[in-house]
Amino acid sequence: MAGKPVRAVNAIDQTRRMLSLVTYLRERPGARIADVARAFGITEDELVADLDLLPMCGTSFRGGDLLDIDTDGERIWWHNPAALGEEAAEPLRLAADEATALLVAARAVATLPGLREGDRQALLRATAKVETAAGEAAGASSRLSVTFESEGGVFADVDRAISERRRLWIRYYSPARDEVTEREIDPIRLVSVGHTYVEAWCRRSEARRTFRLDRVAEIRILDEPSAPPEVELRDLSEALVQPAAEDPEVVVEVGPGGRWVAEYYPHDSAEELSDGGLRITLRTPEPASLRRLALRLGRDGRIVSPPELADSARRAAAEALAAYDVPYGPAPEAAGARG
């Protein structure tokens, strides 16, 4: 719904919500989806997504005790609530490999930069209890360690900034322009679609942008409060990049070998051409990113407009061919131009 206030959603928020959801549903068999969504302050689509995930969860690492929860589209039913009840109150027993994996992971997470101190202390207390319960099995874990790649630290900083509602400064690599830029962003939420991204309001472009965490070269949490404008949270389950009506328009013509573009890129229209190709009109917040598409298409397509983007694609093709000592002229037979 347009105009709905931004509600930060991240992995930790979802985990907490789902833990509460388990208790809530056990006590309310046949609860209505609309009522549950309203109680948790989420949309019905978000609740259904949680319900799709819950049946993959169980009470141990070894399976066989998955939560049997489903919905008929209106109500929610839990078919084996005893799985978490007193009648199934078998003491949790960790095998040596499970205890080792859990302890190594817990110690690694406790070292993440940006982790809130309260969460860190709670994690360390829980780790100590597991060590005591594991006994000799805990010994192997002390000889192992895990080092997170840079994305882990970026994730922790972004998650902390969302939680504390603070602005971020980042140095970000944009492959479309092959450059590193400095930006201040107001983070909105973390999303995972193949890679992990932060959706944010970019103060440099004064627009909503999505940044891939492994392309963040440097990050700092600022003292300024994060104050993104009220924007509608988009459903990103279908595609991460979703054009907006105000984004610049780009026209691409492709031959029969380039018709796949209409399947993979959201577009406004796709008109049939006499040679079996398509004239595709689409929108994108960063038209320069389509230069890579032009190079990939080669003889199977070309950018028609805007003219400056078409010229930029031709120059990029000429530079690429020059690297291989291939002559390049004005004829439309090189990469990015369809003959």
Give the residue with greater pLDDT, 213 vs 325: 213
Q: How far apart are CA 158 and CA 136, in angstroms?
A: 37
Q: What is the structure's pLDDT at 184?
A: 96
Give the residue with greater pLDDT, 51 vs 336: 51
Q: What is the structure's pLDDT at 224?
A: 93
Token pair of 163, please? 């939680």
Q: What is the structure's pLDDT at 89?
A: 47
- pLDDT band at residue 219 under the 50/70/90 scheme: very high
Which residue intervals of the chain are DSSP H helices? 11-26, 33-40, 44-53, 96-110, 117-134, 138-141, 150-164, 261-264, 291-297, 307-322
Token pair of 213, please? 């965490």
Q: How far apart are CA 308 and CA 249, in angstroms?
A: 12
- b/e 233-257 (16+ beta carbons within 10 angstroms → b): beebeeebeebeeeeeebbbbbbee
- pLDDT band at residue 66 under the 50/70/90 scheme: confident
Across the range 237-264, mean pLDDT stands at: 76
Candidates 73, 69, 140; CA nearest to 102 is 140
Percent of the chain topping pLDDT 70: 71
pLDDT over 90 at 201, yes or no: yes
pLDDT over 50 at 333, yes or no: no
- pLDDT band at residue 191 under the 50/70/90 scheme: confident
Q: What is the structure's pLDDT at 251?
A: 92
Candidates 304, 302, 282; CA nearest to 294 is 302
Q: What is the structure's pLDDT at 231?
A: 76
- Give Cα 119 to chain centroid, integer Å: 23
Most confident of 60-64, 69-73, 175-179, 329-333: 69-73
Candidates 155, 149, 148; CA nearest to 219 is 155
Token pair of 136, please? 């000799």
Of the candidate ranges 90-94, 183-187, 243-247, the one whose mean pLDDT is the lowest: 90-94
| Other C-beta atoms lying within 10 Å of the C-beta of residue 2 | 6
Most confident of 147-156, 201-210, 259-268: 201-210
Q: How far apart are CA 299 and CA 322, in angstroms?
A: 17
Of the candidate ranges 123-137, 238-252, 263-277, the one whose mean pLDDT is the lowest: 238-252
Cα distances from 87 to residues 27, 61, 93, in angstroms, run: 16, 20, 17
- pLDDT band at residue 214 under the 50/70/90 scheme: confident
- pLDDT band at residue 337 under the 50/70/90 scheme: very low
Kindly report, as residue ranges, where domains of CATH 2.30.30.100 are found in the chain. Answer: 148-225
Q: What is the structure's pLDDT at 200?
A: 92
Q: How far apart are CA 53 and CA 147, in angstroms?
A: 28
Q: What is the structure's pLDDT at 190?
A: 84
Task: State residue 93 phi and psi, 5-degree precision.
Answer: -120, 125
- pLDDT band at residue 137 under the 50/70/90 scheme: low
Of the candidate ranges 50-54, 56-60, 288-292, the one whose mean pLDDT is the lowest: 56-60
**DSSP structural state of residue 9:** B
DSSP collapsed to 3 states, 214-245:
HHEEEEEEEEEECCCCCCCCCCCCCCCCCCCC
- pLDDT band at residue 220 under the 50/70/90 scheme: very high
The helix or strand, by DSSP H or E, that contains position 325, with its residue range, turns out to be none
Token pair of 148, please? 């997170």
Of the candidate ranges 41-55, 118-132, 146-160, the one whose mean pLDDT is the lowest: 146-160
pLDDT over 70 at 242, yes or no: no
Write out pLDDT tens, residues 287-302: 777 777 887 888 888 8
Across the range 323-336, mean pLDDT stands at: 49
Q: What is the structure's pLDDT at 183?
A: 94
What's the mean pLDDT when you consider all of the chain? 75
End-to-end CA distance of the chain: 45
Residue found under tokens 């450059």 = 179
Is cis: bond before 306, omega within 30 of 0?
yes
pLDDT over 50 at 258, yes or no: yes
The helix or strand, by DSSP H or E, that contains position 75, with its residue range, turns out to be strand 75-78
Q: How far apart are CA 166 and CA 185, in angstroms?
A: 9
**CATH architecture observed for domain 148-225:** Roll (2.30)
